[in-house]
Amino acid sequence: MKIKRHSAAFAVLAAGALVLAGCGSDQNTPQGGGNPALDALQVECGTKPVSGEGSSAQKNAMDVFARDYGLKCAGQKLNYTKSGSGKGVAAFTAGQIDFGGSDSPLSEEKGEVAKAAERCQGNPAWNLPMVFGPVAISYNLPGVTDLTLNADVIAKIYQGQVKKWDDPAIKALNPNAQLPAKDIVPFFRSDESGTTENFQKYLTTATGGTWTGKGKQFQGGAGIGQGRDGSDQVAQSVKATEGSITYVEWSFPKNLGLSIAKIDSGAGPVELTTANVGKAIENAEIKGEGNDLRVNLDSIYGNKAAGVYPIVLNTYEIVCSKGYDAETAKSVKAFLTVAANANPAELEKAGYVPLPESFKDKVLTAVNAIS
C-alpha cells in the first residue's frame, strides 16, 4: 500500500434507528456466517452493547457489521442511529455514544477535534475509514450497454455543454458505439447529499478545477438537469427516462438493473467492480498522523492509473484513542475488528466494497491500539 503521511489537517440527513443483536453467551464463537475471515478471527468480546450514531450513507454497511458482530460475539449487539454526520459527531463529543459515524473527519476549524479530545478524557479521537462505497454513473440508453465517460465529459453534461448522446466528445470515447442523436437528460440530487459532495469533489479534482461546484448542494449549470430528492428517486427517474443519466450509490443501479458507465481517467476504460475500487482505496494517501487515518480523497479522485475506479465516497467511525472504561473499550474494539473483516459478499450486495488487505491492516493496527 502506498501510504504517505502529511501534517494534520456527505452528510446524508435521515432519521431512524438500527438495532441488531445476536444471542447466546459472551464467548468468542467460530461462526462467521460463511465468512472465512470472520471464522479465523480471535476476538475478545466485551460485555457492553456498542452504540453509534451518524452517517446514513453507511447504514446498510452497519446492517452487515451488526449481523457479523452478533455471529462472532453471541449475545452482543450494535445500536446504530442514522441521524446524519453532524448529529453523530455531536452525540460522540457529548459522550452519548461510543463512536460517531461521519462522512468527513473531525474538523479542527469547527472545534470538533478539541471537543472530542475532551470527551475522550484528554486523549485524541481517531478517524477510522471503515466504509467505502463507489458512486456509479448510471444511464438509460436503449441499445447502448457499454459506455465509457470521463470526468471532463461528465462535467460538461452537467454544465450544459454536452447536450446530445452523439456529441463528438462522447463519440471519441466510444468509437464503436451506436450513439443516438437523443437529448441527454441529467438527474441530480435536489436535497443536501454527501453523495453530491463527493461527486463534486471528484469532478473538481479530476477536471483540474474546471468544475467549480462544491458542497452537499448540487451546483451544475443553471437550468441544467432535473433534481430529485434522495438516491432512490434519481435512480428511479433514470429507469423511467430514456436518454437520462445520474450519479448514485452503486447499490441503486445494481438493484434496478440499470447500466453503469465505465470511467476513463486517461489509462483506458475502467469498469465499476469491487477489485477496481479496491485499487483506488489501497493506493489512497493518509494525511492524518499515527492512527488517525484521515484519507486524502484527492489521491483517489486524481488517480489516473490503469484499472482504478476513482469515484468513491468513504465514511469514518470516530473513536477515542483512550478514555473508555475497560469493558466499553473491549466491546468497541471487538465490534470494529469484526467490521473490518465483514462478509465481502454481503457488503458488495449492499453497495460497498471490503477493505483491501493492506488498508485493512492499517485500520486494525489503529483498532488494536484503542485503550
Match 453530491 to its residue by C-alpha cell: 196
Q: For residues 226 and 360, give the distance between their C-alpha atoms in angstroms, rounded to a whole number.
A: 39
- CA–CA–CA angle 209, 151, 262 (5° rounding): 160
pLDDT in tens, 310-355: 999 999 999 999 999 999 999 999 999 999 999 999 999 999 999 9
By the 8 A CB rule, do 305 and 72 touch?
no
| Residue 191: closest CA among 15, 56, 11 | 11
Residue 33, pLDDT score = 58
Domain boundaries defined on the chain: 17-133+284-296+313-368, 134-274
Q: What is the pLDDT of residues 125-160, one digit of tens each?
A: 999 999 999 999 999 999 999 999 999 999 999 999
Q: C-alpha angle 121/106/196, rounded to 5°?
A: 155
Q: How do residues 188-246 score in pLDDT, each as one tens digit?
A: 999 888 899 999 999 999 999 999 999 889 999 888 999 999 899 999 999 999 999 99
Instruction: Say if residues 100 and 53 touch (Cβ distance below 8 Å).
Output: yes
pLDDT above 70 for 7: no
**pTM of the complete model:** 0.83
For 168-199, the pLDDT digits (tens) are: 999 999 999 999 999 999 999 998 888 999 99
Sort residue 84 into left (φ over 0), alpha (ψ -120 to 50) or beta.
left
Percent of residues, the chain, with pLDDT higher than 90: 83
CB-based contact 141:259 (threshold 8 Å): yes
Provide the pairing of β-strand 244-249 with 185-189: parallel
pLDDT digits (tens, 9 = 90+) for 46-105: 999 999 999 988 999 999 999 999 999 998 999 999 988 999 999 999 999 999 999 899
pLDDT tens, 254-282? 999 999 999 999 999 999 999 999 999 99
CB neighbours of residue 310 within 10 Å:
25
Binding site listing for phosphate: 55-57, 85, 103, 193-195
Provide DSSP, 75-135. Answer: T-EEEEEE--HHHHHHHHHTTSSSEEEESSPPPTTTTHHHHHHHHTTT--EEEEEEEEEEE
Q: Does domain 134-274 have CATH number 3.40.50.720?
A: no
Sheet of 262-264: strands edge to edge? 148-149, 262-264, 269-270
β-partners of residue 50 are 78
Measured CA to CA, the distance from residue 201 to residue 199 in angstroms comes to 5
The pLDDT value given to residue 117: 98
Residue 4, judged by CB atoms within 10 A of its CB (0-12, 13-18, 19+), counts as: exposed
Summarize the annotated binding site as residue ranges: 55-57, 85, 103, 193-195
Grid cell for residue 195:
453523495
Fold exhibited by the domain 17-133+284-296+313-368: D-Maltodextrin-Binding Protein; domain 2 (3.40.190)
Same fold, 17-133+284-296+313-368 and 134-274: yes
Note the pLDDT of residue 9.
37
Of the two residues 113 and 31, the one the predictor is more confident about is 113
Q: How far is 99 from 146, CA to CA, in rounded Å?
A: 42
Of the CA atoms within 13 Å of residue 54, those in its CB half-sphere come to 34
